[in-house]
Amino acid sequence: MKQGKPVKSAGSGKPAKAAAAAKSAKPGKAAAAAKPGKPAKAESHLAMVRRARRINRELAEIYPYAHPELDFRNPFELLVATVLSAQTTDLRVNQTTPALFAAYPTPEDMAAAVPEELEELIRPTGFFRAKAKSLIGLSASIRDNFGGEVPGRLADLVTLPGVGRKTANVVLGNAFGVPGITVDTHFGRLVRRWKWTEQEDPEKVEAEIAAIFPKSEWTMLSHRVVFHGRRICHARRPACGACPIAPLCPSYGEGETDPEKARKLLKYEMGGQPGQRLSPPPDYPGRPAPALGAG
């Protein structure tokens, strides 16, 4: 399939900022300070906070359409999809859940599932036996302890089998509108690259980042950072030369700095490729993901 050109930002009528910046991204003061032989001046905590908040504002312009990349229609579907997303891609989860929710649309239905039949449906997501056990367990707990409704409090959510703090924050932020920071692999990698924290433990990362930003920003900050990590700031080969926030990044140069080569590393809508959701939000400017087996 022929790849299209980088998409336009939703509603703007102008090329997406990240794609446009790929032609002219250059290291800024933060990157320049990291050159060999010129030790970077220690950044004060206040300066770091200001830089972090500016990065968040920049990301809001780059990804005005940032959203959870799991397909869901209600809190139960989001909870199940998030549990399934462990050790796999959101795309594979989204390709798997239509058949799953057709068979088990409610907690009551999933709690009564035959384990082997549930395992077969979720097999494409990997670790299907452990995940099936968690899904049946959390569904039974929702049925027995919460009147068949997914609870809307973190303290209750983390009592469900297979549900930790990260999963609970995803559900609270996106199904209940309760602000939360979701520290997944991408989020942790980027906030350490940006020197917002040196912590490795997810709960400590969450606490330190929460202290930098207003609570009202927590959920969208999480989406923006994850979007950037999946599209530009990759784990093994970040596209530094195509990154519009390069002037604010103290780790500029860890990846490809040549703009032409860096542009080829862009993913999803930034690279003219389909996204991860089969049913993306209306303002998503890219193409939907294909159904399982469709490509």
* Catalytically annotated residue among 5, 156, 184, 201: 184
Question: Do 175 and 150 touch, CB atoms closer than 8 A?
Answer: yes
pLDDT-derived band at 75 (thresholds 50, 70, 90) equals very high
> Which of the 8 DSSP states describes residue 288?
P
> Which of the 8 DSSP states describes residue 196?
S
Q: Does the annotation count 109 as an active-site position?
A: no
User: In Å, what is the CA distance from 55 to each residue of 61, 142, 170, 178, 185?
Assistant: 10, 39, 22, 23, 19
The set of residues, in sequence order, having a beta carbon less than 8 Å from that of 199 and lying 6+ positions away, is 192, 205, 208
* Catalytically annotated residue among 17, 71, 90, 166: 166
Q: Does the annotation count 144 as an active-site position?
A: no
- The pLDDT tens digits for 120-142 are 999 999 999 999 999 999 999 99
What's the pLDDT at 1? 38
- The pLDDT tens digits for 273-294 are 999 999 999 999 999 999 988 7
Helix (H, G, I), strand (E, B) or coil at 30: helix
Question: Do 130 and 94 touch, CB atoms closer than 8 A?
Answer: no
pLDDT-derived band at 87 (thresholds 50, 70, 90) equals very high
